[in-house]
Amino acid sequence: MIVLHYLQFIILSICINSFTLYIYLVYYTDLFSSALFQDIEPEYDFIIVGSGTAGSVIAHRIATETNYTFIVLEAGAKGNVLFEIPVLGPLLHGSIYDWQYETVPQENACYAFNSKKCKLFQGKIIGGSSKLNNMVHVRGNISHYVDWFHGKFSHAFFQKQFEFIENNILNIDEIQYQSEMTNAVLEAAKKLGYNEIDLESANGFKRSKVSQKHGGRWSSSDNLDMKHIVTNVLVEKVLVKENVAYGVELLKSNRKMEVFARKGVILSSGTYNTPKLLQLSGIGPSELLKSLDIPIIVDLPVGKNLQDHVTTGLDLILFNKSLSVSIDNMLNLFHAANYFINGKGPFTTPGCEVVGFMSTTNAETPDLQFMVLPVGISSDKGSHFKKSLSVNETVWNNYFAKTYDWHTATILPIVLHPKSKGQVLIQSKDPKDAPLIDPKYLSVKDDIVTLIRGLKLVKQFIETDAMRNLGASINQMPFPGCHNYEIFSDKYWECYIKQLTLTSYHPVGTCFMGLPYANTTVVDTSFKVVGLEKLFVADGSVLPTLPNGNINAAIAMMASIFFDINIKTKTDAKLSRTNICSKYEFIHELVHSICVL
């Protein structure tokens, strides 16, 4: 078997390295093209920083519903048709299309990874992290959104917003291909008393709804006309004069430029990069800015309140036979042909086949999510996941490598509302330096308690007849560093969680949205940065708390609300004014422009 494993490692390594070379070819082709052929005008009505889910939703609606001029500035490069193959998504993790961020060393978590740092995959590509994620579409608990806006909008309002983006902006589809594990988990859930649910995350289970089209990955950026996007541009600072944002300073092809915005600058760079940009611009905690000799424009808690869906449990399920979604499937030319011709087959797998929501305290609102992954990280024999996750050698050799003779899979128990909160702070005045990201995983004991309950539930699922009939069993190899505890005891699980701490890559909260007079608020409920005019934040960073489930749908919905209350209403007012006195509109715009600049 050792020879077979070594052969598999060689074959997979050749395939992965070949794809990596292709990634570099695509990236540098776009880098060269953007330097030669992408021009930036000196002024637009709106500047959007970032082409992720939020920035793309806003840009699409501006393009299709208004006559405003705008530009989307993206630090990453264009994608490629091969990047849209769902099963290849993990190969972009840690690549040049990833910001390659990681946490600072964690005190209570991430022990199994090099230097006690967890990797934080974030898309540096048109489409942002929606080009690297599991494509799972979950609305979450709508009552939370009502709370975020302090009752400004009703439950029915948010339902209509979701219906609008699902019918007009996003492309949501049924999962195209499932392993045998899907039906087994759903049957187990039914036996354990859980109901089948719809898009909103009440207690229960469902097959994943995914953001795909014809079996391929689909992102809100796919709506955009490329003429509105400039790639490989690093925005270094927001330009502010007399508390009015009037443009940005950027670096393009090693040349600094200033681009001006008549009506507004919209930051949609994500939960890590938006606070970084604000702090570089002098908008953030005064003590941090003073320490770096950055002139203070507004003293705000930018970068605080970082929250993330923390999880654990990789390769905790062992099968005595291979499932129909496996690494071997990805080397099958028939499956490749089926994908390109029909948009079907295992190449369409989103990675997560089933999602479930449950309460570990018997409450009506779930505090735990399950994500069912039919393939474990050890299945690639150490050719990619070991490096991309930065698993240390001891852990890999003494745990994951010992499962090579099995088919491994995972049910991730995810803490939906962690009490541990961290921060994102710049470490220098250099825009090219990565921010210091400290999520403080598991710093509050309650999060560990919830995960222990979650792991016990995972064990219950594995021990059901539905899973056992499929050949499933729980991985009973003691995790390195936890040998002194009785296996599967609470003390063992606590040790296990601190060792094998994972993120679901759902960071939010660093530009807290709230009431303007609250000391935690960065943006108000109209998405405007407190104390400044014409500067807005619309991305995951404004979410005050985590939604119940994957965050992409919530971010798209919030971006659509941003457009409605900040651009659409003003567009409607302008049209009304034009109908009354259209011949004087140019005078109004001229005076407006002079007053701003």
Backbone φ, ψ for residue 410 (5° rounding): -145, 140
- What the block records as the tokens of 90 is 């993990």
Cα angle vertex 106, ends 105, 108, to 5°? 155
The number of CA neighbours under 13 Å toward the Cβ of 109 is 25
133 annotated ligand-binding residue: yes
Condensed to tens digits (0 to 9), the pLDDT of residues 4-31 reads 777 888 988 999 999 999 999 999 999 9
The CATH number of the domain covering residues in 2-569: 3.50.50.60
Residues with Cβ within 8 Å of residue 454, at least 6 apart in sequence:
313, 360, 368, 370, 413, 414, 415
Which secondary-structure segment (H or E) carries 162?
A: helix 155-168
108 annotated ligand-binding residue: no
Provide the pLDDT for residue 592. 39
Distance CA 583, CA 201 (A): 52
- Residue type at 150? H
Beta bridge partners of 121: none
134 annotated ligand-binding residue: yes
Backbone φ, ψ for residue 189 (5° rounding): -60, -40
Provide the pLDDT for residue 578. 44
136 annotated ligand-binding residue: yes
- What the block records as the tokens of 69 is 């001029």
DSSP 126-157: TTGGGGTS--B-----HHHHHHHTTTSS-HHH
Cα angle vertex 315, ends 359, 112, to 5°? 95
Residue-wise burial string across 105-132, b where 16 or more C-beta atoms lie within 10 A, e elsewhere: ebebbbbbbbebbbbbbbbbbbbbbbbb
Residues with Cβ within 8 Å of residue 407, at least 6 apart in sequence:
318, 319, 320, 321, 322, 323, 326, 376, 379
Backbone φ, ψ for residue 14 (5° rounding): -65, -45
Cα angle vertex 452, ends 194, 175, to 5°? 45
Domain segments of the chain as ranges: 2-569
| Nearest alpha-carbon partner for 358 in 504, 206, 463, 506 | 206
Distance CA 229, CA 126 (A): 9
Which secondary-structure segment (H or E) carries 318?
A: strand 317-319
Condensed to tens digits (0 to 9), the pLDDT of residues 528-543 reads 999 999 999 999 999 9
| Nearest alpha-carbon partner for 265 in 551, 73, 13 | 73
What is the radius of gyration, based on Cα positions, of the chain? 24
Provide the pLDDT for residue 6. 78
310 annotated ligand-binding residue: no
484 annotated ligand-binding residue: no
Provide the pLDDT for residue 1. 65
DSSP 460-506: HHHTSHHHHTTTEEE--SPPTT-TTS-TTSHHHHHHHHHHS-EE-S-
Q: Which residues of the chain have pLDDT under 70?
A: 1, 199-201, 571-597
Distance CA 73, CA 99 (A): 16
